[in-house]
């Protein structure tokens, strides 16, 4: 994408009512006003569901269409990508979806303890190199953040084409003595997979689905 297009999108991002771009300083100093008060934005107290590393927000918006009685929030640091989800959901008048441009390691500055009902992690970079372990979205640090903001019984969903990340995460769960609710190495050959995992596909998933198996993992901490 050219620099002119990026600048145009960054400018448009400032006008979207469903896109929040708090500064790192605001979050670190607990100045984000919607923390614990998301009902003031959504105008209801429906369950809050996050998609972490949402990219262009296509999964977030499709989840919102599929489940209108839940509120969906996509989080990503890439402003030029998240623009697409904010624009599409605005054009489609999706009132149960919004986006936040920030680092995922700061989510506990955006949500209070036990404020979130469910988390989706869809096709994250598996960060296979050992020196990149700290960036894996299911490492022990991130798991502790998820556990902190999730309600009792809140679920985490991991959908990926990386057998490495799927296996790594199962290994972590075993170490935590957590049995997955659902785990499959090829969800499209399993009709018992949750409908949100089967019925929604990202652009890249559609592109490579014939050459790569898609794994799916669902678990909760308690």
The per-residue pLDDT for range 34-60, each reduced to its tens digit, is 999 999 999 999 999 999 999 999 999
Say whether 125 is catalytic: yes
Percentage of the chain lying above the pLDDT 70 cut: 99
Q: Could you give the C-alpha distances from 61 to 2, 68, 71, 79, in angstroms and in order?
A: 25, 11, 10, 16
Decide the pairing of beta strands 150-160 and 182-184.
unpaired
Model pLDDT for residues 96-127, shown as the tens digit of each residue: 999 999 999 999 999 999 999 999 999 999 99
Check residue 207 and give its pLDDT: 81
Check residue 1 and give its pLDDT: 63
For 123, the token pair is: 């096709």
Q: What angle do CA 47, 50, 51 make, to 5 degrees?
A: 145
Model pLDDT for residues 179-215, shown as the tens digit of each residue: 999 999 999 998 888 999 999 998 888 888 888 899 9
Using left for φ > 0, alpha for ψ between -120 and 50, and beta otherwise, residue 22 falls in: beta
Predicted TM-score (pTM) of the model is 0.95
Model pLDDT for residues 128-148, shown as the tens digit of each residue: 999 999 999 999 999 999 999
Under a CB-based contact definition with an 8 Å cutoff, are residues 70 and 144 in contact?
Answer: no
Model pLDDT for residues 58-103, shown as the tens digit of each residue: 999 999 999 999 999 999 999 999 999 999 999 999 999 999 999 9
Dihedral angle of Cα 79, 84, 87, 92, to the nearest 10 degrees: -150
Q: Out of 15, 125, 161, 179, which one is annotated catalytic?
A: 125
């Amino acid at each position: 994408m050219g620099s002119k297009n990026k600048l145009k999108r960054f400018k448009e991002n400032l006008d979207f009512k469903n896109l929040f771009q708090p500064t790192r300083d605001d979050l670190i100093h607990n100045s984000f006003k919607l923390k614990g008060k998301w009902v003031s934005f959504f105008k209801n107290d429906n369950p809050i569901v996050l998609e972490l590393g949402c990219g262009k927000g296509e999964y977030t918006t499709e989840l919102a269409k599929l489940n209108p009685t839940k509120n969906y929030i996509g989080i990503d640091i890439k402003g030029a990508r998240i623009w697409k989800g904010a624009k599409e959901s605005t054009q489609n008048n999706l009132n149960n979806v919004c986006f936040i441009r920030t680092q995922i390691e700061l989510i506990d500055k955006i949500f209070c303890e036990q404020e979130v009902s469910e988390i989706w992690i869809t096709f994250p970079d598996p960060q296979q190199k050992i020196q990149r372990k700290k960036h894996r979205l299911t490492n022990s640090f991130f798991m502790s953040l998820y556990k902190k903001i999730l309600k009792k019984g809140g679920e985490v969903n991991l959908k990926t084409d990386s057998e490495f990340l799927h296996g790594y995460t199962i290994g972590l769960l075993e170490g935590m003595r957590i049995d997955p609710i659902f785990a499959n190495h090829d969800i499209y050959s399993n009709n018992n997979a949750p409908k949100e995992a089967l019925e929604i596909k990202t652009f890249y998933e559609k592109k490579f689905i014939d050459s790569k198996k898609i794994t799916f993992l669902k678990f909760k901490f308690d």
